[in-house]
């Protein structure tokens, strides 16, 4: 029984010792890395952060949309938004009717993280 208590005490001390109280710095770093990683995984095949490529640059993209909600809906289901929104339809025509892949699993926060990365990208 004493060995069991000693074991749990050691585990507890290890967990307390690993606690990072500087969560703001950690979250800021994680967000920047996550934005870049999310961009590379989901967007880099067609987009570049700050220049047009096979699709429009993503830096400043939110200022080109009527609302952030509409942009989120476009990322998750571009075909539906293209059918209903004049701006989205114009993009579809401008980019030679190249379909954008839908990303239904990206959260608003993940999309924001990607956009923050693109907006802060230095060439």
Q: Is residue 75, in this structure, part of any structural domain at all?
A: yes
Containing domain of residue 71, as a range?
A: 31-120
Number of domains in the chain: 1
Q: Is residue 20, in this structure, part of any structural domain at all?
A: no
Question: pTM for this structure?
Answer: 0.72
pLDDT tens for each residue of the chain, 123 residues long:
554 454 444 443 344 444 444 333 334 444 444 899 999 999 999 999 999 999 999 999 999 999 999 999 999 999 999 999 999 999 999 999 999 999 999 999 999 999 999 999 987
CATH number for position 43: 1.10.760.10
Question: Helices (DSSP H) in the chain: which residue ranges?
Answer: 2-18, 23-42, 61-64, 68-76, 78-84, 86-94, 108-120
Q: Is residue 45, in this structure, part of any structural domain at all?
A: yes
Q: Is residue 43, in this structure, part of any structural domain at all?
A: yes
């Amino acid at each position: 029984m004493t060995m069991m208590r000693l074991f749990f005490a050691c585990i507890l001390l290890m967990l307390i010792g690993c606690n990072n109280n500087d969560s703001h710095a950690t979250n800021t770093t994680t967000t920047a890395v996550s934005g870049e990683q999310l961009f590379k995984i989901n967007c880099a095949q067609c987009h570049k952060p700050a220049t047009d490529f096979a699709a429009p640059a993503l830096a400043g993209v939110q200022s080109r949309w009527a609302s952030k909600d509409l942009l989120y809906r476009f990322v998750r289901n571009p075909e539906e938004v293209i059918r209903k929104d004049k701006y989205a339809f114009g993009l579809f025509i401008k980019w030679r009717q190249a379909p954008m892949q839908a990303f239904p699993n990206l959260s608003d926060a993940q999309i924001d993280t990607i956009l923050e990365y693109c907006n802060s990208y230095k060439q």
